[in-house]
Amino acid sequence: MEDQNQCTTRDEQLKNLNLPKVLIHGPPGFSSVLQPPFSQKFHILNHSSLPLHKFAATHAHHCSSVAAVLCDGGYPVTADVLRLLPSLRLLVTASAGTDHVDLEECRRLGVRVAGAGNMFSEDVADLAVGLLIDVMMKISAANRCLRERILVVSRDFPLASIFKLTGKKVGIVGLGKIGLEVAHRLEAFGCMISYNSRSKKTFVSYPFYSSVVELATNNNVLVLCCALNDQTRHMINREVMLALGKGGIIVNVARGALIYEKELLRCLMEREIGGAGLDVFENEPLVCEEFFSLDNVVLSPHAGFSTLESHDGICQLVGRNLEAFFSNKPLITPII
């Protein structure tokens, strides 16, 4: 039996010698994203039990010949990471965003990059609307009150601070695929949509505001759907929040650092804005605990992409991108 096991191991090693090496760069369990039959076409390397630089130091022979990386959005691919992988030709991210990837360095090195495309757009839009309804109608706060045996009829629950969504003016920051999906859903509630984006979109009739402050001034709600970069970091600051006003609500399903979080907390606690629905946070995976005691805030653990359907879809997509690249075919969802 021992000889048979040794033969099996040798057979697997010989087979792997002829397969492209794919490094998994993500949390424990992330390797499950690459499923059969795609996983059987590559030599999979998983460093989740070690920081990447330590893995590279102890497995230099592997890292020197890694052809592709499959990464999670919470695991940065910086210039330092790229230097550890001199043979890298492809980076596939399972994230909708690319702020964790040094795209400029990838271009310089000739590394192709594939993303999640529009895989998560509908789910993230659903969550954005869900968060908004929850904040406005205080569903989570009411649930907590009832569970704590606080009766609504006793007026201990603040019914006067509940708002309806119908007819509200909603400003969307970033009118890409997710932003458009949010807009379409909110139109069904009779909401009046306007937006801010890098440029005016010719294919929509929604009013366009070139300034986020101006957008906030003219709306009851801001929904953040834009990318995080040097220009958008902390774009939602105190000036924007005060422009939104005391009854205003902010929903963020994009990236946490779009909001100056300390200023958001101050405005929420001082009731300078009405509330917030947050799926993302400035220092993920850490969440500022001061949010926990606020009934005008609804929190979600970066779960906009977590439906079963999206998980199955991204498993297929990352495998198809890897397969296409190593078959000399066009990437399915190219970024670079």
Q: State the residue for tokens 């990437």.
A: 331
Q: Which two tokens stand for residue 117?
A: 């495309």
Q: Cα(71)–Cα(286) distance, rounded to whole angstroms?
A: 20
Q: Which two tokens stand for residue 229?
A: 């970069």
Q: Shortest CA distance to 84 belongs to which of 76, 95, 96, 92? A: 76
Residue type, 210: S
Q: Is 7 helix (H, G, I), strand (E, B) or coil?
A: helix
- Catalytic, out of 47, 100, 112, 302: 302
Q: Cα(275)–Cα(263) distance, rounded to whole angstroms?
A: 13
- Catalytic, out of 284, 290, 320, 323: 284
CB distance 129 to 185 below 8 Å: yes
CB distance 192 to 169 below 8 Å: yes
CB distance 78 to 52 below 8 Å: no
Is the alpha carbon torsion for 168, 176, 316, 283 positive or negative? negative
The C-alpha angle 260, 263, 265, rounded to 5 degrees, equals: 110
Q: At what angle do helices 139-147 and 121-137 cross, to 10 degrees?
A: 60
100 in catalytic set: no
- Catalytic, out of 255, 261, 263, 282: 255
DSSP 190: T
Residues in the chain: 336
255 in catalytic set: yes
DSSP 215: H
302 in catalytic set: yes
Residues annotated as catalytic (active site), given as ranges: 255, 284, 302
